[in-house]
Amino acid sequence: MKRKLLGALLSVAMVASLLAGCGGAAATDAPAPAAEATEEAAPAATEEAAPAATEEAAPAAEATGTKVGVAMPTKDLQRWNQDGSNMEEQLKAAGYEVDLQFANNDVQQQVSQIENMINNGCNVLVIASIEGDSLGTVLATAKEKGIPVIAYDRLIMNTDAVSYYATFDNYMVGTKQGEYIRDQLKLDSEAGPFNLEVTTGDPGDNNARYFYQGAIDVLQPYIDEGKLVIKSGQLDFDQVATASWSSENAQSRAENIVSSNYADGTNIDAWLCSNDSTAQGVVAALEANYNGTWPIITGQDCDIVSVQNMIAGKQSMSIFKDTRTLAAQVVKMVGQILNGETVDVNDTTTYDNGTGIIPSYLCEPVFADINNYKELLIDSGYYTEADLQ
For residue 61, what is the DSSP state?
Answer: P
185 and 301 assigned to the same domain = yes
Q: Indicate the SS3 state at residue 177.
A: helix
Among residues 129, 104, 97, the alpha carbon closest in space to that of 114 is found at 129
Supply the pLDDT for residue 58.
62
Task: Tell me which DSSP letter residue 387 carries.
Answer: G
Put residue 146 in one of left, alpha, beta given phi > 0 → left and psi -120 to 50 → alpha. Answer: left
Q: Is residue 79 part of a domain?
A: yes
Q: Are residues 61 and 164 in the same domain?
A: yes
Average pLDDT of every residue of the chain: 86
Q: Is residue 29 part of a domain?
A: no
**% of residues, the chain, pLDDT over 70:** 83
| Domain boundary, last residue among 286, 320, 354 | 320
pLDDT mean over 320-339:
93
Q: Is the peptide bond before 193 cis (omega within 30 degrees of 0)?
A: yes
What is the model's pLDDT at position 31?
Answer: 34
Tell me the β-bridge partners of 125.
Answer: 69, 149
Residue at 352 is within a domain: yes
Tell me what the mean pLDDT of segment 311-321 comes to: 97
Q: Which of 320, 342, 373 is the last residue of a domain?
A: 320
Distances, alpha carbon 376 to alpha carbons 11, 165, 382, in Å:
33, 25, 8
Round to whole Å and give the CA distance between 371 and 360: 32
Contacts by 292-297 with C-beta closer than 8 Å and gap 24+? 292/262, 292/265, 292/266, 292/267, 292/268, 293/267, 293/269, 295/267, 295/268, 295/269, 295/270, 295/271, 296/180, 296/181, 296/184, 296/185, 296/269, 296/270, 296/271, 297/270, 297/271, 297/273
The total number of structural domains in the chain stands at 2
302 lies in which domain range?
Answer: 170-320
Q: Is the domain of 251 the same as that of 119?
A: no
Contact 304, 286 (CB under 8 A): no
Evaluate whether residue 231 is within a structural domain: yes
d(CA 73, CA 131): 9
Do residues 37 and 2 lie in contact, with contact meaning Cβ atoms separated by under 8 Å? yes
Sign of CA dihedral 182, 184, 190, 192: negative
151 and 268 co-located in one domain? no
Dihedral angle, C-alpha 124, 348, 351, 276, nearest 10 °: -80
Is residue 83 located within the same domain as residue 180? no
Question: Please, which residues have CB within 8 angstroms of residue 89's CB and are 6 or more apart in sequence?
Answer: none
Report the residue count for the chain: 389
Same domain, 305 and 212: yes
What percent of the chain clears pLDDT 90, i.e. is strictly above it?
A: 79
CATH number, domain with residue 246: 3.40.50.2300
- The answer to whether 177 and 214 are in contact (CB under 8 A) is yes
Distance, CA of 113 to CA of 121 (rounded, Å): 13
Q: Same domain, yes or no, for 309 and 347?
A: no
Classify residue 267: in a domain, yes or no. yes
| Radius of gyration (C-alpha) of the chain in whole angstroms | 20
CA distances from 121 to 3, 98, 370 (A): 37, 11, 47
* Dihedral (CA of 91, 97, 103, 107) sign: negative
The identity of residue 297, as a single letter, is I
In a domain, 216, yes or no: yes
The answer on 290 and 199 residing in a single domain is yes
pLDDT digits 0-9 by tens, 137-154: 999 999 999 999 999 999
Round to whole Å and give the CA distance between 22 and 41: 35
pLDDT digits (tens, 9 = 90+) for 98-128: 999 999 999 999 999 999 999 999 999 999 9
Q: Note whether residue 23 is domain-resident.
A: no
Same domain, 124 and 143: yes
Look at 53 and 286; give whichever has higher pLDDT.
Answer: 286
Same domain, 150 and 178: no
Mean pLDDT of 207-227: 97
Residue at 41 is within a domain: no
Q: Give the model's pLDDT for residue 156.
A: 95
The mean per-residue pLDDT over the stretch 31-41 comes to 35
311 and 330 in one domain?
Answer: no
Residues 307, 332, single domain; the answer is: no
**Per-residue b/e over 235-272, b at no fewer than 16 CB within 10 Å?**
bbbbbbbbebbbbebbbebbbebbeebbeeeeebbbbb
> Which region among 38-52, 98-112, 159-173, 367-381 has the lowest average model confidence (pLDDT)?
38-52
DSSP 194: E
